[in-house]
Amino acid sequence: MANRIYGALVTALSLVVLLLGTDAAAKDKNYDNPTIVKPNVFTTSKSGRFGGTSVDYKTVAGDTFIYAKDGKKIATFFSYQYIKEDVEDPRTRPVTFIFNGGPGSASMWLHMGVFGPKRVVIPSDPADDGAPPYTIIDNPETILDVTDLVFIDPIGTGLSRTLDEENPRNHWGVMEDAKSVAAFIRQWVENNNRWNSPKFVAGESYGTVRAAVLADILTNDHNIGLNGIMLISAVLDYQNSRIQDGGIMSYVSFLPSYAATAWYHNKLPNKPANLEAFLQEVRDFAAGDYAKALIAGNRLSAADEAALIDKLHSYTGLKKSYLKASNMRVHVRRFFKELLRDEGKVVGRLDSRYLGVEPDSVGERYSGDPYAYASGNAFTVAINDHLHNFMKVKFGSRRYNTSARAEKYWKWNWNIWGKNGVPNGGRFINVIPYLGKAMRRNSDMHVLVTSGYYDFATPFFGAENALAEKDIVADRVHYTYYEAGHMMYVHEPSRLKFLTDIRSFIEAYDKQ
């Protein structure tokens, strides 16, 4: 009895402390937010040749305020726009809204890597981008001939910030972020009188989560329908792309990516000549015999286990002894180290074509992603150079954030189920229901899914499995694949194919 009373007192006191702490935090409104009386806007006139067509266009870089229900401005999205001039009726010109992922990433990767009128050159083969100066060149293959482009930096990224006493965490979360970006799109459409323009959204990585939820919010809350969504390196149902204890689908979804990587690095016992045919065979095995074996667990016979390990060895190049010791469940972060352990090398997560050398070969996991530390510098330098010198932006007191994680109050809310939440904070989320609702309520909306074979952040079979769920209108989903990784456009042949695929998608569904 005494212990129960003591426990109750501790619980009550803890609750009081928690409530007091919450109240104190609520009263702390010193969010280091800027006070901006009117939007800062920087405009230039340019001309270029895109998709074989001469285009006169203007660049517009600047603030777009979004507002609370009482009309008070609460945040500014600092976006980057490329708008074709001398259009007979701008209201019918397609416009594409573009963002990256993270969560918490600025749009500089898609901006300076593939979609902007200028792009930074980094090695097409998997190699380090080195030190500056980096080469920034014209990007004649981009899609400015068929659509205006609006690059969105979510709150806390780039130069986008909350204003005055607005808490930035009101914009940091799966639902919070999508509502915030939707408010920006609604305000941009209103400010620029583009209500009747065909509208497309292109999101990369976590940006595909945003795009799925955004499509639903735009439809329901703003009556804005989308003509198309481009899901670049898609992650939509996290059980297919994040290893979790007791989970099965992640192992199934990663297996074809293991096979593609082993094929690329010549680690297969009998390497097939045709990659695509080989990966289809692995897909069939992963969704069939392999999935059944994982479900069987300790009910699997020794003979069946031995046969499956032989097959997994032929598909992954991993040693049979390793596959048996891991119970045929290879954690993706272990794979990075294990595939080329005998050579003292590790493969990249974002692009497994990239290799790294580490101090030893005995560890279970690598110390860093070889792709991440081989490519990041060039993009950061390029976006800052581009904004200063091409778009003529004057930053003032604001600093360009490549990631909102640099912000003092950064914390992401993964909960999409309301106040009660779910175990693990909702991290293993599934936004397929939102995308499905948007597709069913808009019979013209199509989805393009672009995937790199060598991407372990968002495995291509994981995207396929998610989009096979019953919520989705399957005949309006289109797939394209590239022999590259997460950012397939850093590989020159893939970049050219990617832009051709994107242009064809927009031209097919702009409904002019």
Instruction: Give CA–CA dist 360/336, Å, rounded.
Output: 14
197 contacts 94 by C-beta, under 8 angstroms: yes
What's the chain's average pLDDT? 91
Instruction: Give CA–CA dist 373/345, Å, rounded.
Output: 15
Query: Per-residue pLDDT tens for 432-461?
Result: 999 999 999 999 999 999 999 999 999 999
Predicted local distance difference test score (pLDDT) of residue 25: 39
Instruction: Give CA–CA dist 469/460, Å, rounded.
Output: 15
173 contacts 414 by C-beta, under 8 angstroms: yes
63 contacts 155 by C-beta, under 8 angstroms: no
Secondary structure of 292-341 as H, E, C letters: HHHHHHHHCCHHHHHHHHHHHHHHHCCCHHHHHHCCCCCCHHHHHHHCCH
Contacts of 496 (CB under 8 A, 6+ apart): 141
Query: Per-residue pLDDT tens for 119-140?
Result: 999 888 888 888 899 999 999 9
Predicted local distance difference test score (pLDDT) of residue 426: 56
Per-residue pLDDT for 396 more than 90? Answer: no
Burial 494-510 (b: 16+ CB within 10 A, else e): bbebbbebbbebbeebb
Instruction: Give CA–CA dist 389/54, Å, rounded.
Output: 22
pLDDT band for 21, please (50, 70, 90 cuts): very low
Instruction: Give CA–CA dist 442/237, Å, rounded.
Output: 22
Instruction: Give CA–CA dist 467/265, Å, rounded.
Output: 29
pLDDT band for 418, please (50, 70, 90 cuts): low
Predicted local distance difference test score (pLDDT) of residue 34: 85
| Per-domain boundaries in the chain | 41-239+418-509, 242-372
Contacts of 24 (CB under 8 A, 6+ apart): none
Tokens of 375: 């490519």
201 contacts 96 by C-beta, under 8 angstroms: yes
Instruction: Give CA–CA dist 495/487, Å, rounded.
Output: 9
Query: Per-residue pLDDT tens for 306-359?
Result: 999 999 999 999 999 999 999 999 999 999 999 999 999 999 999 999 999 888
Q: What single string gives the DSSP state of each residue in 115-184?
A: ISSEEEE--SSS----SSPPEEEE-TTSSTTT-EEEE---TTSBT-EE-TT--GGGG-BHHHHHHHHHHH
User: CB-based burial of residue 223 (10 Å sphere; 0-12 exposed, 13-18 middle, 19+ buried)?
Assistant: exposed
Give the mean model confidence (pLDDT) for residues 237-250.
Answer: 84
311 contacts 324 by C-beta, under 8 angstroms: no
Query: Per-residue pLDDT tens for 476-499?
Result: 999 999 999 999 999 999 999 999
Question: 41-239+418-509: what fold?
Answer: Rossmann fold (3.40.50)
Per-residue pLDDT for 11 more than 90? Answer: no
Query: Per-residue pLDDT tens for 170-225?
Result: 999 999 999 999 999 999 999 999 999 999 999 999 999 999 999 999 999 999 99
